[in-house]
A and B are shown apart, each in its own frame.
Chain A
Amino acid sequence: MQVSMTVNGGAQVHEVEPRTLLVHHIREALGLTGTNVGCDTSSCGACTVHLDGEAVKSCTVLAVQADGSEITTIEGMATAEGLHPMQRAFQEQHGLQCGFCTPGMVMAAVSLLDEIPTPTEAQVREGLEGNLCRCTGYHNIVRAVLAASGQALDDPVSVGGAGA
């Protein structure tokens, strides 16, 4: 079947098998391998992308279901001006270690702030419940999201970085 979608601002038209999951379409047909696969039970959120502005786990959607939609993947977040503020916050707060969960985590976090621009820590934790990270214990991920929302953090500040 033919599916067409706008991905990171560009039109993409491809033939897909009806059973192809969106995540595999993104990774294999579109070659956008920033979106990761961490599980086979829709549990980990590593595959999170924005579908028509909403964060979705792209392993729970068939490529054909995304026909006609607008998709943003992690590759679509940074601009010529540099990293997206959420990406920068993740770097500054050391919100990633191995980085495997990170693309999905960033996409989920951006969409969380769309919904709740100034969340409490508890709201950040609840909002990211569907995204698993094995490295960070979430501590610095939570801090990154709070920082990206413009809230001041009292702990020490890091130095350097792509945005600095």
Chain B
Amino acid sequence: MTDTIDAPAASPAFIGSRRVRREDPALLTGEARFTDDLVLTGALWLGIVRSTMAHARLASIDLSGALEQPGVVAAYAGADLEGEWAAPMPCAWAVTDDMKNPAHLPVAVGKACYVGDAVAVVVAETRTAAVDAMDHVVVEYEPLPVAVDLDDALSDRNVIHADLGTNTSYTWVLSPEPEAVDRAFAEAAHTVSEDYVQQRLLPSPMETRNVAVVPAPYDGDYVVYTSTQIPHILKVMLGLTVGVPEQKLRVIAPSVGGGFGSKLDVYAEEVLAVALARKLGRPIRWTEERTEAGTATIQGRAQHQHIELAADGDGRITGIRVRLLADMGAYLQLITPGIPLLGAFLYHGCYDVPAYAFECTGVFTNKTPTDAYRGAGRPEANYAIERAVDALAAQMGVDPAEIRRRNFIREFPYSSAPGLVFDSGDYEPALAKALDLVGYDALRAEQERRRASGDLTQLGIGLSTYVEMCGLAPSKVLASLNYSAGGWESATVRMLPTGKVLVITGTTPHGQGHETSWSMIAADRLGVDPDDVEVLHSDTAISPLGLDTYGSRSLSVGGSALWFATEKVIAKARSIAAHQLEAAEDDLAFSDGTFSVKGTPSRSMTMAAVAYAAFTAHDLPEGVEPNLEAQVTWDPPNFTFPFGAHVCVVEVDTETGSVRLRDYVAVDDCGNQVNPLIVEGQVHGGIAQGIAQALFEEAVYDEEGNLRSATLADYLVPSSPDLPSFRLASTVTPSPTNPMGVKGIGEAGCIAATPAVINGIVDALRPLGVTDVRMPASPWRVWDTIQAATGHPAGDAAEGQQPAPDQPARDQPATDQPAKDQEVPT
């Protein structure tokens, strides 16, 4: 898995520069078209009637009232559509041979299994007619007992899918040497045993999901416009589920307003829109309301984590045991069961740990299915190990930075106990840089002063080092994990007769700026200006080969495919140039877009001239085809392993529990950077989402399985005053496994930030006896935790001293709203 590729020799002119994005003018002026912006003549609007109960038999569904409404064209219950499906909704990752996967239909038949489960659909001439008519669908529910709490669901007290006989979907075990783990714990000088809760999160891209399907009834074609991260994968899955021949499907992702994993899925509405376009012979479109998205779009995290560390007398970790309970929700979506496994290999973090045992049980609950959310499994893993390492440091009285240094992996490539080979790394310099930047020693001194003086505002310094696996993925590794697709990526490079360049990529950017970065790569390689390179993507008719964008894979896999495609183009161009210059290929040098005869630079031919010669085909070498184009499908030899160190400095008001983010320093190493401007933007956004999990966000369910925080008024996506500016730096440790030495940066911030914040809060409050605080660490929770730790349980507290733990909401008074509590460091 460690095949090494030589780094590029040519001196890059554009790669590495802070080039602004070519995508921006269209987005900044309103010219860009998102799915809901499309004008589609004659389109019908789809409305989805959703279950208002978490678990209920659908005793009857009366559509007659809806059908009488003006503008209504059709209405269907689940049973009316059963004949439309060639297969149930897809789950592409059977993590174990005996994994239980209930049949999941786009519209429920017989019973609903979560609030938001589709139970009927209405099709109408206008959006408002569809919305109005939905109120006239009468559904009679017979409530069934619910399984909402994860432990309760595990007990099988109430089984959701009776035919499965249990709520347990699977138990997946990774325990290469169980005896070694037992020995490590038996011989340990120190052990820690910790339990953490990863709360459910709503991914919340600012553009909700949208889909529009335009059929050509006589030709049999369907054009599917959808706000997705995965047009290519979706095309395959639509073919399989709706039974439309795949070659008749064209999937286009127009401008997509963020995804964060939530659009890495195959959704009921996409499947429905194709089926209804087929059934009714007219375009069908659907736009998700924000509040609807709360339950209709997959959710993230939702795990109970148990982690144990064994360490020797010096604090060197000798063994790790991890047990997870992962909440699947009511059904398995595209990769629901595999999400915890994406973290399964990384619970030892950046540390050299010889013995490792991991086990995860996936459990069904009467809630919206979970699936990928930024980081997908890796934020959870990093949270657990970084919290646990801090616990070990505290137990031993060792500085958290020192305990990390004692355990860092130092030799690369590194074969990890769970079975990965880390490509490259250099962890200590990243940590040292972060500590230096944040002024670690001075902060510890200030912390000491505040502790000694009993300051009501305590200072906390939260460390988080991380390593992640990106560049999904070597297809053979995916096979060994039972994942039913590969991990390759495709790129095509075409020299146009005028010397301009067309790049076609199988990656599908939705905010990551691939058009800009890919044009920089092609420009450097081919010796043209980036503005002369057009980058096409996200349309399966234009880019038929691709595996899309997620898992920080696009640059390391798709960018590498592009690099190799330019290599092929240059090779062909070289043979044409050699022929025309009457020189041997080996005697030609290629730089700055020109082939020249070594030693006689006046004998030369530009790439543009070669492209024109290839186009006219008047005088090509024997056996060389006309035109200058190459396509490459590249399968990475290994994952890439970006890493870094983040430090979050917090001030905690011990009287109110409010947390102020005083400073945030991030040092990330994603290998070589193609465009540092874009790298930094990715880090900023990731940190914000990581902080959001730590302090603000939670999908709150009540005991009946109702989502209490579905709206953006209740679900606290941070706004600008909630966050500080971030101080960023980087180190550069190239990956040896791809030609540009790149690693990936899309998820790093989100992986690092959450434990940095919570470690900071716990660090501030440890002298008070606090060892944990549940996320999101709202002022009330922090205050309650302090009360409990100091022997004043919440109930004993003076009335009115702290607001009750109501649902958070944007419009509540500042004391109850973490959003308003934080000042901005200047």
Q: Which residues of A contact B (CB under 8 A)?
A: 27, 31-44, 46, 73-75, 77-78, 83, 87, 90-92, 94, 96-103, 106, 120-122, 124-126, 128-142, 156-162, 164
Contact = CB atoms under 8 A, between A and B. Distances in A.
Contacts of A31: 39
Contact of B725 (A36, A96, A128, A142): A142
Given A97-B511, A101-B257, A121-B725, 14 more contacts: A33-B36, A40-B290, A43-B712, A98-B27, A98-B511, A99-B26, A99-B257, A100-B34, A106-B28, A134-B258, A136-B684, A137-B685, A140-B681, A159-B20
B24 A96 contact: yes
Interface in B275-291: 289-291
A2 B566 CA distance: 58
Contacts of B712: 38-39, 41, 43-44, 132
B50 interface: no
B206 A133 contact: yes
Nearest to B26: A99
Given A87-B29, A103-B30, A97 B824 contact: no
Given A46-B206, A122-B824, A132-B717, A75 B30 contact: yes
Interface residues of B, number: 64
B256 A98 contact: yes
B39 A87 contact: no
A73 to B, nearest CB: 7
B723 interface: yes
A133 B722 CA distance: 12
Given A128-B719, A137-B687, A41 B29 contact: no
A142 B678 CA distance: 16
A157 B141 CA distance: 60
Tell me the dominant secondary structure on chain B's binding face.
Answer: loop
B247 interface: no
Given A74-B30, A139-B725, A162 B24 contact: yes
A83 B205 contact: no
A97 B512 contact: yes
Interface string B1-39: 000000000000000011111011111111111101101
B207 A36 contact: yes
B24 A134 contact: no
B350 to A, nearest CB: 24
Contacts of B17: 159
B711 A40 contact: yes
A96 B717 contact: no
B206 to A, nearest CB: 4
A134 B25 contact: no
B12 to A, nearest CB: 14
A73 B28 CA distance: 11
Contacts of B256: 98
A33 B29 contact: no
Contact of B27 (A78, A96, A157): A96
A135 B684 CA distance: 8
Contacts of B466: none
Contacts of A44: 206, 290, 712
* Interface core residue of B20, B36, B207, B826 (most chain A CB under 10 Å): B20
Tell me the dominant secondary structure on chain A's binding face.
Answer: loop
Interface string B617-661: 000000000000000000000000000000000000000000000
B4 to A, nearest CB: 32
Nearest to A122: B824
Contacts of B39: 31
A134 B717 contact: yes
B510 interface: yes
A129 B28 CA distance: 20
A132 B257 contact: no
Contacts of A135: 206, 258, 511, 681, 685
B688 interface: yes
B368 interface: no
A129 B720 contact: yes
Contacts of A37: 36
Contacts of A73: 30
23 contacts: A32-B30, A33-B33, A35-B30, A39-B290, A40-B289, A40-B291, A41-B290, A41-B712, A42-B713, A43-B712, A44-B206, A92-B20, A96-B27, A99-B32, A100-B207, A106-B28, A122-B824, A125-B723, A134-B258, A137-B686, A137-B688, A141-B720, A160-B19
Contacts of A141: 720
A53 B57 CA distance: 54
Nearest to B30: A34
A134 B753 CA distance: 15
B826 A120 contact: yes
